[in-house]
Amino acid sequence: MANAAVLPALSIIDQLPLLTIVVPMVAGPLCVLFGNRHIAWLLAFLASLASFLFSAHMLLQVIDGDVLSYHLGGWAPPLGIEYRVDAANAFVLLLISGISTVILPYARQSVAHEIKKVSHTLFYCCYLLCFTGLLGVVVTGDAFNVFVFLEISSLSTYVLIAMGAERDRRALTSAYDYLILGTIGATFFVIGIGFLYIATGTLNMTDLAVRLADMDGNRTVQAGFAFIVVGMGLKAAIYPLHLWLPGAYTYAPSVVTVFLAATATKAAIYVLLRFMFSVFQPEFVFELHTLTWIIMPLAILAMFAASLIAAFQTDLKRLLAYSSVAQVGYMILGIGLATKISLSATIIHLFNHGITKAVLFMVVGAFVMRKGSSFTKNLNGLGKQMPLTCAAFVVGGLSLIGVPGTAGFISKWLLIDAALEVDLWWLALLIVMSSLLAVVYVWKTVEVLYMNEPDEGTIAKEVPMSMLIPMWVMAIACIYFGLNTDITLTSASVAADSLLRGGVQ
């Protein structure tokens, strides 16, 4: 056991996979300990910024296809818990921490407006725990550890959503709905992990991949796979399992909605990707059948049904929530096609949709601040009163539709490319058609904002700079990543490669 004495000291660079998680994890309880809402905000922001810088550094390290492996407590995998960072999760880590870093300056005013002062420190503590959980789900290379971090993020999410009760009591029932469904999802996931553990005797993902390689016909493994897909499907809000999402996004405080919409479902999709392509091999017959006959049809259903429902919503927040369900459909479609290009499309859409929805929900948060509600009927003619906010909505809306020159275009173009590559021209057509539905609901809102006359006697000021700047940082990111695709495309294709290569190096 005298191993520690002979090991060379680790540098801070070696510790990065861990520090990304530990910094926000420690900042959370520190917020409570200081008990001051200004310090809490500052801690949250600094922790988030630190995680962002660490993730960026890690992405640079692994972009050439390297893998970082960190052994917790010095216990070597497969026995010990391993944090394993390759291009796929470094990219998702960068997305989550980047979004959080931009949201927090915005959060300050918005939270002050929507949540009572007493709860601010606890709010930032929960936010940091949720952030930690999401990062942890992505960084870890241990299947059971995924579940632990998933619970950390979920439990804090329930609290965060319930904090919307200040504005609308329905936040409580929405949080409760999500609690029940989220718990079922997490339970299914852990049952699936249990089955895999019975069959293989290991929890390390790399080790699982090796041991599962010749277990194609094993019923236990197949059942485990089914449980994991359904469990994560619930968390990712794949179409028929999305029922918690509209309520949760609609009634949560604006900042929480921005954060969840941009990151939470993305982390779940990442886990799905990891399990479907790294832990299980796509060559498995049962997996191929699942992808072709279950995942693909559900994805197409989501693209149309959820977009159609979105078009009929009267609450802008709920409209965007349904649009999120539809957009998850595109990501799932990329998984269903299971080629390298389609996986790149999924990963790049994770990113592009993350920044797009961040802009849109930030705009809704601004409307809520100035008009007290997000119902479309209260937003008449705001284009003249809040020009910068509304312009950001237009940019986000265009990216959501997938207009060339915006980030949304890149991911849809890649997805169509993937469909054509396997000669599914009708699928390419469906992708374009469902984008037209997005035009319907985005245009509907733009019409209310710009074409309608403002309501009599209402004056809405522009929101403070601390909210406008983050909003426009994201809006400009939507355009930037639509024009300059070097960073995202390279990362996504390396990530797809490392996913497909799986644990077997």
Partner 1 sequence: MRHHLLLRVITKLLVGPIILFALYVQFHGDYSPGGGFQAGVIFAVAFILFGIVFGLEKVKLVFPPWLVHKFAAIGVLLYAGTGIYSLMLGSQYLNYSAFTPDHPEHGQHWGILVVELGVGITVAAVMVAIYYAFAARPPVISDEDW
Q: What are the two backbone dihedrals, phi and then psi, of residue 486, each rounded to the nearest 5 degrees?
A: -55, -55
Site string for partner 1, 121-140 (x = CB under 8 A): ----x---------------
Binding-residue total with partner 1 (CB under 8 A): 27
Q: How far apart are CA 246 and CA 314, in angstroms?
A: 13
Cβ nearer to partner 1, comparing 82 with 315: 82
Contact 189, 203 (CB under 8 A): no
Point out which span in 31-39, 292-300, 399-407, 476-484 binds partner 1 (CB under 8 A).
31-39
Q: Is 459 in the site for partner 1 (CB under 8 A)?
A: no
Cβ nearer to partner 1, comparing 1 with 459: 1
Point out which span in 12-20, 94-102, 330-338, 373-381 binds partner 1 (CB under 8 A).
12-20
Q: Is 28 in the site for partner 1 (CB under 8 A)?
A: yes
375 strand-pairing partners: 315
Contact 171, 254 (CB under 8 A): no
Alpha-helix runs per DSSP H in 214-315: 219-236, 244-251, 254-259, 265-273, 285-290, 296-301, 307-311
Q: How far apart are CA 246 and CA 436, in angstroms?
A: 21
Q: How far is the CB of 104 from partner 1 (least distance, A)?
A: 20
Point out which span in 6-14, 228-236, 237-245, 405-413 binds partner 1 (CB under 8 A).
6-14
- Tell me which of 5, 453, 456, 461 binds partner 1, using CB under 8 A: 5
Q: Is 35 in the site for partner 1 (CB under 8 A)?
A: yes
Q: How far apart are CA 143 and CA 191, in angstroms?
A: 12
Cβ nearer to partner 1, comparing 77 with 396: 77
Q: Is 72 in the site for partner 1 (CB under 8 A)?
A: yes
Q: How far apart are CA 289 and CA 58, in angstroms?
A: 35
Coil/strand/helix, residue 142: strand
Point out which span in 68-76, 92-100, 157-165, 298-306 binds partner 1 (CB under 8 A).
68-76
Cβ nearer to partner 1, comparing 15 with 458: 15
Q: What are the two backbone dihedrals, phi and then psi, of residue 140, each rounded to the nearest 5 degrees?
A: -75, 150
Alpha-carbon 344 to chain mean position: 16
Cβ nearer to partner 1, comparing 54 with 244: 54
Q: Is 118 in the site for partner 1 (CB under 8 A)?
A: no
Q: Name the token pair of 69.
A: 């492996």
Contact 261, 361 (CB under 8 A): yes
Q: Name the token pair of 449.
A: 């904002």
Residues that bind partner 1 (CB under 8 A): 1-5, 7, 9-10, 15, 18-19, 22, 25-26, 28-33, 35, 70-74, 125
